[in-house]
Amino acid sequence: MTLAIQVIVFIAFLLWFIFLIKRFNFFQLEGVKPIVLQLAFLVKVIAGTGLWALYTYYYTDRANADIYKYFDDGYYLFSQLRDQPTLAIQWFLGIENPEITKILKGTMNWSREYNFGVLNDNRTMIRFNFLINYLSFGFIHLHTLFINFISFIGLIAIYKVVDKQLELPKSALLFGLFLIPSTLLWGSGILKEGFLLFSLGLFVYFLFNWILVVTLKNSLLLLLGIALMLIIKPYVLLSLVPASAAAISVKFFKIKPLLTYPAVALLGLALILLFKGLGIFDLFDLLQQKQTAFYNVAMLNEAGSVIDVPTIQTPLSAIFAQPEVLMTVLFRPFITEINSIFYLLASAENLFLLIAIVVMTFFFKRPTKSQLNFLFFGLFFTLTLGTLIGWTTPILGAIVRYKVPFLPFIFTIIFSCIDFNKINQKFNLSIR
C-alpha cells in the first residue's frame, strides 16, 4: 500500500470517528456540545502523534520505546502470518505449535523474563497492533488513531458515571478527564494506558449500572470489562476489587460508606495475613519480588530515574511505608527534579493537584449522602493503586505512567468538593 493510500485511509477513519462522536447516542452528554467532544478527540490524536514524534526524533532508541515495542512486534507477526489465516487465528487465540513458536522467536517483546504468575500484558498490545495492520499495513498513525478512539470511549464512560454520581461544573469534569497531562499524553499513544482507559471505563460504567439495576446485559458487559482488565493490567483490577466490593455492599446492605470502606480494607488485610500464615499465598513477598525485578530492569537499561523505595518484605514494614510511597506517587517528580519534557508535564500536573487540594481546603463543599459511595470508591481505588505502585516501582518515569488510571478519579473527586459558586462570586468568574 502506498503512502498516499495510507494517508487517505487515515483521513477517512478520522472523519468517520468524528462523525460517530456527533451522531452516536453513547457520545451524547447533557450540557456538552458535540463539537467540544470532537475537539477533545482531536486533541488526543494530536497528543498521540506528538508522543510518536518524541519517540521517533528525540528519544531515538526504538528498541526501548514502548510505542515501537508493540507496534514493531505486531507488524513483524502480521508480515509473517497475513498469508496464513489458519496459523494467524491459532496464534491469536494462544494456540502454539512448532511453526508458531519458530515465528515468535523473531519477536522482541512477546515473552518477558518477569511475569509473577500473571498474564503477559505485552501480548495484548501486540495483538492489538497485529489486527490494526490489516487496515494500516504498517502506517503507525492509524494505530494511534484507533487507540485514541477506544481510549476516548473509556473516558466518555467514566465521564457518564462521574457526571451522574457527582455535582460538577461541566468544564471542570471535562478538564479532569480529558486534559490532565499524564492522561492526555500516555493515554493517547500506542501504549497499554490507552487500552487500559477503555477497559477501566467499561468496568466502572457497567459496575455502577449493575449496582443500580442488575440485568443480564449489565452483568455480561461488566464481565467483559473484568476480562479486558485482566489481559491489560491485572494489578489495576486487583486495586479495584476492594473498592468495588465496598460499593456493592453499600448499595445492597444499606451500610454507610464511612463504615463499609474501612471495614473492607481491614477484612482484606486480614485475609492477606491469613493466606500468608497458612502458606497459601504471600502477597508481600510477591510485591517485594516485583520491586527487586524493577531494580534489576533499571540497572540493565541504565534507567536515569531510579529512586529509593522502602522494603516491603513484611506486612508491618509495608504498612509503615504506605504514607511515604503515596507521597511519592501523588507528588513526584517535584519541580526540582525536572530533567525532560515528560518530567516537566508530570511536575506541573503534581503542582496543579497540590493547588487543587489547597483550593478545596479553602472552598470546601460538603458532599451529599448520595455522592459518598462514589467518592469513597474513587478515593479507595486511588489509595489502593497508588500504594501498590509506590511499593513496587522504584523508577520515577514508570510511576508517572502507572498512575494514569486513578488520575480521572482523584481530580474529579477533589473538584466535586470545591464550591465553585463561592469561587465564581469571590473572583467574578463563570466556571460552569
The model's confidence at residue 114, banded by pLDDT at 50, 70 and 90, is low
pLDDT tens per residue across span 2-29: 888 999 999 999 999 999 999 999 999 9
Lowest mean pLDDT among 96-100, 196-200, 241-245, 297-301: 297-301
What whole-number distance in Å separates Cα of residue 166 and Cα of residue 173?
Answer: 10
Give this prediction's pTM. Answer: 0.94
Looking at every residue in the chain, the average pLDDT score rounds to: 92
> Domain extents for the chain?
255-432
Cα–Cα separations (whole angstroms), residue 410 to 131, 166, 325, 386: 34, 13, 16, 11
- Three-class secondary structure of residue 244 per DSSP: helix
**Contacting residues for 233 by C-beta, under 8 A, at least 6 apart:** 121, 192, 196, 199, 405
Cα–Cα dist 289/278, whole Å = 20
pLDDT tens digits for 371-397?
999 999 999 999 999 999 999 999 898
User: How far, CA to CA in Å, does 378 sit from each of 81, 203, 353, 406?
Assistant: 43, 13, 15, 8
pLDDT digits (tens, 9 = 90+) for 316-337: 888 899 999 999 999 999 988 8
Query: Would you say 77 and 107 are in contact if contact means Cβ atoms under 8 Å apart?
Result: yes
- 306 bridge partner residues: 395
Predicted confidence band at 358 (pLDDT cuts at 50, 70, 90)? very high
The answer to whether residue 115 scores a pLDDT higher than 60 is no
Give the tens place of pLDDT for each residue, 192-208: 999 999 999 999 999 99
User: Helices (H), strands (E): how many in the chain?
Assistant: 20, 0
Collapsed DSSP state (helix, strand, coil) of residue 304: coil
Most confidently predicted of 94-103, 152-161, 164-173, 339-348: 152-161
pLDDT for residue 230: 94
Contact 422, 214 (CB under 8 A): no
Task: Give the model's confidence band at 124: pLDDT under 50 very low, under 70 low, under 90 confident, else very high.
Answer: very high
List of E strands, 339-425: none
Q: What is the DSSP string of 101-114?
A: HHHHTT-SSSS-S-
Asked if residues 125 and 191 have their Cβ atoms less than 8 Å apart, the reply is yes
